[in-house]
Homo-oligomer: A and B are copies of this chain.
Amino acid sequence: MEDSKRTEIGELGEFGLIDHLNKSIKIKNPSTFKGIGDDAAVIEAGDHVKVVTTDLLLEGVHFDLAYAPLQHVGFKAVAVNISDVAAMNAIPKQITVSIALSNRFSVEAVDALYSGINAAAEHYNVDVIGGDTTASRSGLVISITAIGEAKKEELSYRSGAKVNDIICATGDLGGALVGLQILEREKQVFMANPDMKPDLDKYTFVTARQLKPDSRMDIIHELRELGVVPTSMLDISDGLASELFHICKASNVGVTIYEDKLPIDKQTFDTAVELNMDPITCVLNGGEDYELLFTIDQKDFEKLEKHADIHFIGHTTKPEDGKNLVTKSGTVVELKAQGWKHF
């Protein structure tokens, strides 16, 4: 690697690097309906389509075995991929699971990891159809690819939102970020004094949001039963604001969301305050909740109106109206996306 010019990856950032790499990619095969640029790719499959998504998870970057039990790491690794299939409004059917591990791991530890993977495969009704098992010089590496099915007309892309669609978010947001802060705090306490037992009883909800998120396949099945196809959809992995930006860019719309409509759990709120974090910032920029963000045509509002776990947080606007948050006091502020930075 003796380059005459050396550009640091940090100069581009994660999204910048991905954009840079994707520029060189061209689609050639007619069976590729959608390549890079959504939660999953879409390929032709005779009478239906397959969606394909993949995630690469590394110890020390995506999970910390100091507080994440291996069962939960396995479950989460599957769930985050299922979440991307859900975000296409498709039904997951198969996964491949590749792992790399060092001799620090015993067979019993690998079994614990796989018990989580298999529990998730059972929970989401997917088959583990392949993978690769190999040695690692350092930590645990997990790579999962998930494949789902849908009729072509059932798919929800990021790019389908129209002006004046209603913006919906499922569940509650910010919990996974707050849970991570608690786990990191208790880890520091424990490292400073190994006799201190971490006190996590007060924080079971937020730590579970971080350690064992559930993909919202329940919502996907309910949307089908109610006959609603979202005009656009993605899963909230990088934070609500960042995902809204994706919809704006892909669909060429603006958004207006309302602070008093944003869903936050009481424990998330209280813990954020305890940690001197702004709860609304946690909701807007906290990642890893794996809830769904989608837009619906106004005609579908009645069908979802009574759903206890779908929140109507705002609406799409003309692109020139920008991206706005209306605060509780009625002030309109510009929405900023922050997202996760690993680099």
| Chain A residues numbered 1-24 whose CB sits less than 8 Å from any CB in chain B | 1, 3, 5-12, 14, 17-18, 20-21, 24
- A93/B136 in contact, CB under 8 A: no
- B24/A145 in contact, CB under 8 A: no
A27 to chain B, nearest CB (A): 5
A94 within 8 A of B: yes
Query: Known contacts A98-B55, A129-B32, A133-B17: does B61 contact A1 (CB below 8 Å)?
Result: no
A226 within 8 A of B: no
A72 to chain B, nearest CB (A): 13
- A61/B100 in contact, CB under 8 A: yes
In the complex, chain B residues whose CB is within 8 Å of the CB of A145:
52, 54, 96, 145
- A131/B98 in contact, CB under 8 A: no
Which single member of B24, B108, B138 contacts A138 (CB below 8 Å)?
A: B138
How many copies, total?
2
In the complex, chain B residues whose CB is within 8 Å of the CB of A47:
46-47
How far is it, in angstroms, between the C-alpha of A316 and the C-alpha of B275 when the chains are bound? 69
A41 within 8 A of B: yes
- B17/A107 in contact, CB under 8 A: yes
A4 to chain B, nearest CB (A): 8
Query: Known contacts A12-B107, A107-B20: does B134 contact A137 (CB below 8 Å)?
Result: no
How far is it, in angstroms, between the C-alpha of A59 and the C-alpha of B135 when the chains are bound? 11
| Chain A residues numbered 37-95 whose CB sits less than 8 Å from any CB in chain B | 40-41, 43-48, 50, 52-56, 58-62, 65, 70, 93-94
How far is it, in angstroms, between the C-alpha of A169 and the C-alpha of B8 when the chains are bound? 46
State how many residues of chain A have any CB contact under 8 Å with chain B: 88
A283 within 8 A of B: no
- B138/A18 in contact, CB under 8 A: no
In the complex, chain B residues whose CB is within 8 Å of the CB of A8:
103, 106-107
| Chain A residues numbered 97-156 whose CB sits less than 8 Å from any CB in chain B | 98-101, 103, 105-110, 112, 114-115, 118, 121, 125-139, 141, 143, 145, 147, 149
12 contacts between A and B (CB under 8 A): A1-B112, A9-B101, A9-B105, A10-B103, A21-B110, A21-B114, A35-B127, A45-B45, A53-B96, A56-B134, A58-B100, A58-B136
What is the interface of chain A, defined by CB distance below 8 A to chain B?
1, 3, 5-12, 14, 17-18, 20-21, 24-29, 31-32, 34-36, 40-41, 43-48, 50, 52-56, 58-62, 65, 70, 93-94, 96, 98-101, 103, 105-110, 112, 114-115, 118, 121, 125-139, 141, 143, 145, 147, 149, 342-343
